[in-house]
Amino acid sequence: MPSSCKDIRAALADCLRSSDCVLIQRNQPSDCLRPPLLDTLPTQCQQLKRGYGECRRGMIDMRKRFRGNQPIAVSKELEGEKPGQLYAGSGFSRGGDVKATSGDEDAKAETVVGVDGERRVVR
């Protein structure tokens, strides 16, 4: 089996081993994955089963053949990384002189250099 689904398969096996369906009711793990007993599994095991099925389907999906399955990791924002830029322009905070205002300044004009290097008159 390709390595893209091994992690989620191992997590599903661990979840099944520690579930009440296997420990208390003494059913086979394969029986717990079928419809009459599937509803008795914890939500985490049901989600892992669904994710494992999607991973297996992704291995034969022609749209994902070249890129492969996405890793199992959670969202980048939850891991502490900042999300990427959503548009093609340069970021507003990457340079350029942005002056903070308190709202009680005089209404006289001043020259400001923008992000793109052009000088602008701001009132």
Looking at residue 12, its pLDDT comes to 95
Can you tell me which residue has the tokens 């749209």?
63
Average confidence (pLDDT) over 100-119: 71
CA–chain centroid gap for 1, Å, is 24
Average confidence (pLDDT) over 93-105: 62
Looking at residue 81, its pLDDT comes to 61
109-118 pLDDT, tens digit per residue, is 677 777 777 8
Q: What is the CA radius of gyration of the chain?
A: 27
Q: Does residue 100 register a pLDDT over 90?
A: no
Looking at residue 47, its pLDDT comes to 94
pTM over 0.75: no
Q: Which residues make beta-bridge pairs with 111?
A: 121
Integer Cα distance of 44 and 28 in angstroms? 18
